[in-house]
Structure 1
């Protein structure tokens, strides 16, 4: 399949080029020229498949015949080595747990697929993965590419604005993984990444690529777990009209869900769930796009004021002739997030701030004849300190071995200012 640059429809590439290039000219995002759709019979058949083979069918409609089916299957088998779990919280609400991968966050799906795919098609040339993270992307990408030959990974994150557990997961690896603590917020980190991609010399010299959800290869694998959620619900004979609440920061997860709906997955509606960094809810309410400086919250991975993937969502709605008014939305401050965590605990479910934001709005907006799913995007262990402070209680269950081993290692990050020249010089120093 061909993909076009949203900012320049004449710039068209195939899937391999799109995943290798990351961004188009003028920082434009790639988007599929065709919007395939499965028939009702095909959807039923897909939902009866196992997760791996279903994922192969889904990814194949976007990859086409560029890469053999065997290679794509190999990448999926290597990437999706952990479960997707749908767990009932109430009679009419379930959580889609996406945090059972090696870095305990949903980013493991897209990050690991992208790493294995690029490794499969790479011809031994130098590749530099440059990405910004507001919390979970950094760990997923660092672990996905760690130890790969001819690959350097550079991760920018806002200094002091991610949890200690998040930071230790990817800032202690070393090797081919370099971590930069930026004196700014996530939007500043994201801007530095975009500036690097605008620099033709850097792109060619370092074989620059990005593993944020701005890269279509990171985004498309996330479609697969929306189908898995429906497959598990149908096996439990839950057939009500399904509403999905998506905790949203850079809006890649919501974009993937909407692409799943575009493929024919029968989602009734989506809820855009944000914290007080609510650029999109304000836009959907007022019609005015007015980003404000990001504010630090408990749900730090959503502290994004300029969500990159919103451009893809608007493009999809334009192409499908859907109305943005069909999106439900809302924002939740920290006080209500804390209260929601307590409500969830009373139901017997210990969660974390991002899922709490999602659950809060789902509970508020779910109709009596609907069934709701909220996304659990990160393991509560990644917010152990924050959760224990809220409940004034030590949760030993929140300490999986995969986190404990990193707590004993030193942080290897280097601090930099919000200065592109500083980033540029560091990147070039890796060539020496």
Structure 2
């Protein structure tokens, strides 16, 4: 398997080189030069596998010979040994046509652990095997930062800096990042939004001289390894419910802000998994909903919401989907992304919009609808949803017909967002790992929303103990 850029100006590279490159050197995103196809017979062979064995089979399709089989198996086993549920991503049935895919059983209680435990171990493996310097730079709207730090903290040869928007993540999300005092971890709290943090990250990676001088590696979902790891649980969830649902169609409702998690579902569908529709759930920051309904991709006014991890206007993985939507025309993608940077919008024609709507539905969940969904499912189903999962369930109710089955991705434990849960007048108990955070000191630096200031702060951190 080889990887190419959505903008067409990067020579084909292998999986490990794609992991190390992160953002493509031409400013695009790396994708496989072909998507492996799984026949119905092959899918049937995969049905009975454990999560770990299924991950190995799917990863192998993209990794090829870049990692020896036994090494890859060990990486996978180590990555998911930290999860609290033996199924890694168990499926819970709430209604005859609604299943919840619980993705929060990893060490930081968020779905990001599924990809970042693997990517952290993969970076450590590459550092040791290839004597590579690994300096990880990432931005977070809340969950990626904690998961990334947990995935690499204390690992030899790796340093990590995470940018998060100052006072725009939940208390628990902030504590999970900033109570880590390891020497190889730096937290920068940026006076701005997540989009500001993400823009700075992408611009620093696009500066290939800075990127190469300081050995920058990506932990955000611009790194294809993140997408690959998340693709596995779509297969696993489908296999868990297949025998129960009969001939009914299966939709997946996905809370998303950066288009990474739902792109993993798109990839699974392209590989042959019989997904009917991907339902995109978002909040008031609904650029993606508007694109699916109208074909116009244009950021709007930023809103702080009850589901802060989706408070994103510019979705970094959208370019990957646009590449496939527009018939893998890299030259056209480069032109459109250049237009977007200059004019702030992209519009697709009616034919392309019909293709979008054949595969996706979308629902933007506004304010009280999110809280009411939490309340009603707690009262009627005795199940506590975090606010992002509540957006996914509300989107299922709005977009998934009663005669079809929907799997809603539960992206975080509700304890991570107690501010929203308290607004519903629900009292919850905290897991011990989270409860202990409240008494610990925080280690973070508040910085201005300025790329040059942040670059100057990174230089001494990434040159220490070289």
Match of 2:456 among 416, 425, 429: 425
Equivalent position SS for 2:124 = helix
Stretch of structure 1 that moved more, 200-209 or 175-184: 200-209
**Could you tell me which residue of structure 2 aligns to residue 168 of structure 1?**
175
Report whether the alignment pairs 1:138 with 2:145. Answer: yes
Equivalent position SS for 1:266 = coil
Once the two structures are superposed, residues 244-286 of structure 1 have per-residue CA deviations (whole angstroms, 9 ceiling, x without a partner) of 1000100100010111111111111111111011112112222
> How has the CA–CA distance of structure 1 residues 318 and 40 changed in structure 2, closer, same or farther, with 3 Å as cutoff?
farther
Stretch of structure 1 that moved more, 353-362 or 67-76: 67-76
How much does 1:429 deviate?
1.5
How much does 1:366 deviate?
1.8
How much does 1:289 deviate?
2.0
The alignment of Structure 1 onto Structure 2 pairs a total of residues equal to: 429
Equivalent position SS for 1:343 = helix
**Equivalent pair of 1:86/1:94 in contact (CA under 8 Å):** yes
How much does 1:121 deviate?
2.0
- 5 Å-filtered alignment, 1:6-155, equals 6-81=6-81, 82=83, 83-122=88-127, 123-155=130-162
> How has the CA–CA distance of structure 1 residues 210 and 293 changed in structure 2, closer, same or farther, with 3 Å as cutoff?
farther
Report whether the alignment pairs 1:405 with 2:436. Answer: yes
**Equivalent pair of 2:10/2:24 in contact (CA under 8 Å):** no
**Could you tell me which residue of structure 2 aligns to residue 339 of structure 1?**
372
If the length of structure 1 is used for normalisation, what is the TM-score? 0.96
**Equivalent pair of 1:71/1:120 in contact (CA under 8 Å):** no
- 5 Å-filtered alignment, 1:337-376, equals 337-346=370-379, 347-376=381-410
Once the two structures are superposed, residues 40-82 of structure 1 have per-residue CA deviations (whole angstroms, 9 ceiling, x without a partner) of 0000111121111111110110111121111111111111222
Once the two structures are superposed, residues 118-175 of structure 1 have per-residue CA deviations (whole angstroms, 9 ceiling, x without a partner) of 2112233321100000010000000000001111100000000000001101111121
How much does 1:179 deviate?
0.4
Match of 1:324 among 356, 364, 370: 356
**Equivalent pair of 2:10/2:25 in contact (CA under 8 Å):** no
**Equivalent pair of 1:127/1:206 in contact (CA under 8 Å):** no
Once the two structures are superposed, residues 6-49 of structure 1 have per-residue CA deviations (whole angstroms, 9 ceiling, x without a partner) of 11254321110010110112421001101111110000111121
CA distance, structure 1, for counterparts of residue 167 and residue 101 of structure 2: 29
Report whether the alignment pairs 1:387 with 2:421. Answer: yes
Unaligned ranges ≥5, structure 2: 329-351
Equivalent position SS for 1:95 = strand
CA distance, structure 2, for counterparts of residue 362 and residue 60 of structure 1: 33
Once the two structures are superposed, residues 198-230 of structure 1 have per-residue CA deviations (whole angstroms, 9 ceiling, x without a partner) of 223321222101100010111111011111101
Equivalent position SS for 1:213 = coil
Equivalent position SS for 1:277 = coil
CA distance, structure 2, for counterparts of residue 325 and residue 271 of structure 1: 10
Unaligned ranges ≥5, structure 1: none
> How has the CA–CA distance of structure 1 residues 71 and 319 changed in structure 2, closer, same or farther, with 3 Å as cutoff?
farther
How much does 1:313 deviate?
1.4
**Could you tell me which residue of structure 2 aligns to residue 249 of structure 1?**
257
**Equivalent pair of 1:104/1:378 in contact (CA under 8 Å):** yes
CA distance, structure 2, for counterparts of residue 187 and residue 26 of structure 1: 21
If the length of structure 2 is used for normalisation, what is the TM-score? 0.89
**Could you tell me which residue of structure 2 aligns to residue 285 of structure 1?**
293
CA distance, structure 2, for counterparts of residue 287 and residue 372 of structure 1: 25
Once the two structures are superposed, residues 169-201 of structure 1 have per-residue CA deviations (whole angstroms, 9 ceiling, x without a partner) of 111112111100000000000011112112233
CA distance, structure 2, for counterparts of residue 172 and residue 110 of structure 1: 22
CA distance, structure 2, for counterparts of residue 366 and residue 289 of structure 1: 24
Equivalent position SS for 1:160 = coil
